């Protein structure tokens, strides 16, 4: 099952990075392969935890797919976990964590694991997804640099 994990230090606070990743409706503006995203349901929870159900449309050239995830936004612990509900995958899990680092920066940990339901779709989109997932942290860091105006 393909997976990717990275930890990198960025020049933005953990709270700013959490807010940026939690703002899922903005993903189509900057995230590779993301053609659309809509939040189907929001459920506020106790103690600063919120759960979203979101549908993302992804595509490349003539291939387009949609999938639905349950996203738990745990603001107090600065963690975001997305779990697969429906779509072209057999399995999909995505985790983010944001920890304080020296000089007001943030250590961002990103992890994703996935498996396509269809071998054919996996062959068609697998390399493209792997490449895009490896660029996700770059996309979020570039977005943070623009939003929070740091060079």
Q: What is the CATH number of the domain that holds 10?
A: 3.30.530.20
Q: Which domain covers residue 20, as residue numbers?
A: 3-147
Q: What percent of the chain is predicted at pLDDT more than 90?
A: 67
Establish how many alpha carbons lie within 13 A of residue 88's alpha carbon, considering only the half-sphere containing its beta carbon. 19
Is 30:132 a contact under the CB 8 Å cutoff?
Answer: no
Say how many domains are in the chain.
1
Least confident of 27-31, 40-44, 108-112, 129-133: 129-133
β-sheet bridge partners, residue 6: 110
Is 7:107 a contact under the CB 8 Å cutoff?
Answer: yes
Q: Residue 151 has what pLDDT?
A: 46
Query: pTM for this one?
Result: 0.90
Confidence of residue 33 (pLDDT cuts 50, 70, 90): confident
Q: Quick check: 109 pLDDT over 60?
A: yes
Q: Which long-range contacts (CB under 8 A, 24 or more apart) does 63-69 make?
A: 63/124, 63/125, 64/35, 65/121, 65/125, 67/92, 68/40, 69/94
Confidence of residue 143 (pLDDT cuts 50, 70, 90): very high
41 burial class (0-12, 13-18, 19+ CB within 10 angstroms)? exposed
Q: Residue 65 has what pLDDT?
A: 84
Neighbours of 145 (CB within 10 A): 14
Q: Quick check: 80 pLDDT over 50?
A: yes
CA distance 142 to 32: 12
CA distance 124 to 34: 17
Is 137:8 a contact under the CB 8 Å cutoff?
Answer: yes
**What is the torsional sign of CA 138, 58, 113, 51?**
positive
Confidence of residue 19 (pLDDT cuts 50, 70, 90): very high
Rounded to an integer, the average pLDDT of 57-63 is: 81
Average confidence score pLDDT of the chain: 90
């Amino acid at each position: 099952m393909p997976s990717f994990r990275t930890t990198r230090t960025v020049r933005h606070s953990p709270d700013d990075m959490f807010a940026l990743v939690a703002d899922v409706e903005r993903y189509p503006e900057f995230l590779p392969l993301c053609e659309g995203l809509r939040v189907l349901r929001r459920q506020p929870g106790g103690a600063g935890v919120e759960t979203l159900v979101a549908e993302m449309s992804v595509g490349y050239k003539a291939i387009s797919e949609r999938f639905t995830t349950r996203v738990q936004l745990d603001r107090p612990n600065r963690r975001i976990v997305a779990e697969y509900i429906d779509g072209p995958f057999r399995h999909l899990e995505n985790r983010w964590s944001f920890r304080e680092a020296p000089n007001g920066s943030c250590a961002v940990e990103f992890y994703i694991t996935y498996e396509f339901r269809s071998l054919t779709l996996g062959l068609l989109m697998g390399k493209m997804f792997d490449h895009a997932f490896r660029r996700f942290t770059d996309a979020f860091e570039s977005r943070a640099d623009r939003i929070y105006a740091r060079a």
